Structures are given as structure tokens and as C-alpha cells.
Amino acid sequence: MTRKQFLLAATAMAGAADAMASESARPPRVLLVVAHPDDEYAFAATAYRIGKELGGTVDQVIITDGAGGYRYSSLAERVYGVSLTAPGGRESLPQIRRLETLAAGRILGIRKHYFLDQKDSGFTLDPNEALEKLWNATAVTDFVSELLRRGKYQYVFTLLPTGETHGHHRAATYLAWKAAQRQPEETRPVLFGAEPGAAVTPAPSFTSDPLFHDVRSLPDTPVFAFDRRATFGFNQALSYQIVVNWMIAEHKSQGLFQTDFNRYDLERYWTIADGASNTAEKAGALFRQLGILSK
């Protein structure tokens, strides 16, 4: 290599390093892509940290109308004055859940919500039920893809698509992955699959979605974990669990969800492979910015 070639190569490397440093110094821009109202629970503390404390941007796409979540709504019937578990009253549930989501979003610092109002028929383990029967998957993918292009998001948070995951969650993650893949490599956002867990429980092993094998974790990268137990305030008496509990309380129509108060210590994140050359570096940059990690 000649001296001129060496200097050109060194300049290019320095420029790339400066660009990465500049990128990591900017407040993060994050898009949450979830199937149901209340799915933001998986990243609640992280979203609060980004939106409220770091001055970043957190927006959210909610694919379904949440109509299938009526089975444990009896406790909220006296709050809302509607028989949410009865066939006639269930029609009110999507609007109620929309308002609950907006209230939870104000707590977490979510700037914008995009409600796509696709059908929610209740729990299933089959993601194809949503993709082939319930949702307009093409329209959802097109919407998220265009939103990523316009919003210039650096990161996308979805739920980890294991075989035991709700089929709608897996379908949402698959569509988010497809939308991210449409973006040019140089601006492609890093996709994370998240799952809350207890600190005493080892993180589950995840290689790829059992059905959509292209949705796979990036090899040789750590599982990041945001610790909800991190303390702050007077006498270090406060923690991010309080924020998460506030968010849970806003979803009053979801009675069983209320039992998740203080249930999980960590928000664990797997980096999803996207074909870009610097995905691992960008993923690490986000969690260094967050600064509240746990193994």
C-alpha cells in the first residue's frame, strides 16, 4: 500500500468512526411495533428512560384493536360502566383500550401512537392466523416501512418471537422485520426482540423464530438487559419498577395484567440480524447510552 493509499484508508476509517460516535451521541429515535394495546410493557422502563430522561423519541405502532382481550375485564366493568365481558359490551373495548394506551404512553414518554385497528380474535400460538386470516399484512408492512423511512428511526423494538410467544406477537415482529429490511442498509434501523424476565432466571436461548427462520438473533452478540430495579432519587428509594407499575395500572381493562406488578426485574433484548455490517456496533451504542444494564 502506498503512502497515499494508506492516508486515504485512514481518513475513511476515521470518518466512519466519527459518524458512529456522532450517531451514538444523538438522542435515540425508537419505534415500538406491537400487536396489542399493553404490549409496550415489555420495554416500558427502557421507553421511559429514552423518552423522559434522555430526550429521545419513542413512537408506537399498535397493529390490532385489542378486541380479543375481554376475558379478564370484569373488574373494570364498574370503572367504565360497561359490561366488557358480555357480547354487547365488548364493542366498547377497542376504544377503551386505545384510551388506556394513550394514558400509559403519557407516562412512558411515547410521543405518537399509530393504531392500525386490525382484528384481534384472542390468544393463539399460530402467527399465520393473523397474517393470513385476520390482518391485511401487506398494508401493515407498507405502513411500517413508510413510517421507518419518514421517521428516520435508529431502532425498532418488538417482542421476542419464540415458539411459546403469542402468535400475534410473532406476526407483528415478522412484519416489523420485513419493513426494516426494505430500508437501505446505511439507514436500516436495528431491530430488537424483547422479553421481560426475572433476574434469577437465565435468559432463554433464542436462535430464530421457529416458523420465520429469517428472523434470527445476531450471532456472537450479548443479550442486553435493562434493569428495572435500578434506583435513584432521595436515599436511592425509587426505581423504574414504579414507572412500569404506573403503566400497568393504566390498562385497567386487562385485569390479569394487573398481577404483573413488580413481577419482572429485567427487560431483555436480543439483536435481530438484518444484513447490515454495523448492526452489532449500533446495538451496543444504544445500550451504552441507556447506561442501566444488568447481566
Domain of 186, CATH number, reads 3.40.50.10320
Q: Structure pTM?
A: 0.91
Give 101: exposed, middle or buried? Use CB within 10 Å, 0-12, 13-18, 19+: buried
- Residue 6, in any domain of the structure: no
> How does pLDDT run across 173-225, given as a tens digit for each residue?
999 999 999 999 999 999 999 999 999 999 999 999 999 999 999 998 889 99
- Residue 23, in any domain of the structure: no
Strands (DSSP E) contained in the chain are: 29-34, 57-64, 112-118, 155-159, 190-197, 224-227, 231-232, 238-239, 266-272
- Residue 22, in any domain of the structure: no
- Residue 20, in any domain of the structure: no
pLDDT confidence bin for 52, thresholds 50/70/90: very high
Provide the grid cell at 93: 373495548
- Residue 8, in any domain of the structure: no
- Residue 137, in any domain of the structure: yes
Task: Count the Cβ atoms, other than its own, within 10 Å of residue 210.
Answer: 14
Q: Determine which of 12-26, 53-67, 119-133, 153-167 has the lowest per-residue pLDDT on average.
A: 12-26
Angular region, 82: left φ>0, alpha ψ -120 to 50, beta rest: beta
Closest-CA residue to 90 (of 77, 100, 99): 77
Q: How many residues does the chain have?
A: 295
Q: Which residue has the higher pLDDT, 100 or 13?
A: 100
- Residue 192, in any domain of the structure: yes
- Residue 113, in any domain of the structure: yes
Query: Over 60: is that where the pLDDT of 23 sits?
Result: no
How many domains are there within the chain?
1
Q: Can you give the residue range of the structural domain that contains 228?
A: 32-290
Share of the chain above pLDDT 70, in %: 91
